[in-house]
Structure 1
Amino acid sequence: MSSTIVLAAAEDVRSEDSVQLMKELSEELGLLYGGDGTAGFQLSDVEVPRSAFIVARLDGYPVGCGAIRPLDENSVEVKRMYTRSDYRRKGVAQAILAEAERLANHFAYRNLKLQTGPLQPEAAALYERMGYYRIPIFHGDWDQVLAYQKDLVQQPASL
């Protein structure tokens, strides 16, 4: 019986696996919403202090990704959340978010924020299940955005 444990960890945003996952995500978002599907994300967004690009793997195979980039001293934004279609509903997104939250806490942020679109109801439901609550849009001017926040309970920095 093969392992079904999803491992999510920070990896190089410019690695082959990372670039391929983001390409797939951008194509999917482009089909849903139009445009190039990048949602204004640049690789350099996660090459600054207190940021990270996360890849989720199942038996070593890359199955999803996510990123955290600083918004300000206290807030980090979750970006590029993606799970390959064959691996959805297997805990991949939860593992990515858990690692994003762990890293955000390690980097001493007070909260995580994210935005998703109305054509992704499964994503919105996931964020709500994971303890995120609705907030006003904090970036961009598209009125269809669903914005969320999760406050962190500060832990001693002993990671």
Structure 2
Amino acid sequence: MTHIVHAAAEDIRSEDSLLLIKELSEELGLLYGGDGTAGFQLSDVEVPRAAFIVARIDGYPVGCGALRPFDETSVEVKRMYTRNGYRRKGIAQAILAEAERLANELGYTNLKLQTGPLQPEAAALYERVGYYRIPVFSGNWDRVLAYQKDLVHEKV
């Protein structure tokens, strides 16, 4: 049975959003050590031109992602996460598609993101959907994989 994934901006302080962020931080903490937050704060997306996206199947929260302003033309994708049991089902692609749609709507020309070397599936996904490698832009850990995707603005 095919379930439709619905990804949309939601309140980052909702119960579902906070639970998804907590699960992701715990998973990243186990992978890389530390608290797994990668310096992300809820307030990072409580500013203009930012968003927090929750993906749902039949109303159940299965993943998330955030858009944090980077500069006037770039937005950073943060907190990309899909719950275990829902991976490899198009959840992350739905989140990224909504992130790109929102970024375009918010007037950005590109999206940037960073992932770690212990997440090869994430890196493969980003490359599959059009992100390309760029120099690390945040943090001082040399093993970070940084990516960018340029948005194509339609002429009206």
Report the AA paired with residue 139 of structure 1: S
Residue 154 of structure 1: CA displacement? 1.2
- Partner in structure 1 of residue 113 of structure 2: 114
Displacement of 1:156: 5.8
Counterpart of 1:50 in structure 2 is 49
Identity level (%): 82
Q: Please identify runs of 4+ aligned residues in structure 1 that moved more than 3 A.
A: none
Q: Aligned AA for 1:138?
A: F
Q: Which residue of 2 aligns with 1:144?
A: 143
Please give the root-mean-square deviation of Cα atoms over the aligned residues, in Å: 1.0
Cα deviation code 1:109-159 (max 9, x no counterpart) = 0100000000000000000001000000001100010000000001368xx
Q: Which runs of 5+ in 2 are unaligned?
A: none
Letter in 1 for 2:123: A
Aligned residue for 1:73? 72
Matched-pair contact (CA < 8 Å) for 1:12–1:18: yes
Residue-by-residue CA offset, 1:6-51 (whole Å, 9 max, x unaligned): 0000000000000000000000000000000001000000000000
So what's the TM-score if we normalise by structure 2?
A: 0.98
Segment of structure 1 superposing worse, 147-156 or 11-20: 147-156
Q: AA paired with 2:35?
A: D
Residue identity opposite 1:113 in structure 2: K
* Partner AA of 1:97 in structure 2: L
Write the deviation string for residues 83-109 of structure 1: whole angstroms up to 9, x where unpaired.
Answer: 001100111000000000000000010
Q: Aligned AA for 1:80?
A: R
Secondary structure at 1:147's aligned position in 2? strand
Alignment correspondent of 2:29 = 30
SS in 1 for 2:152: coil
Aligned length: 156
Determine the structure 2 residue equivalent to 1:10: 9
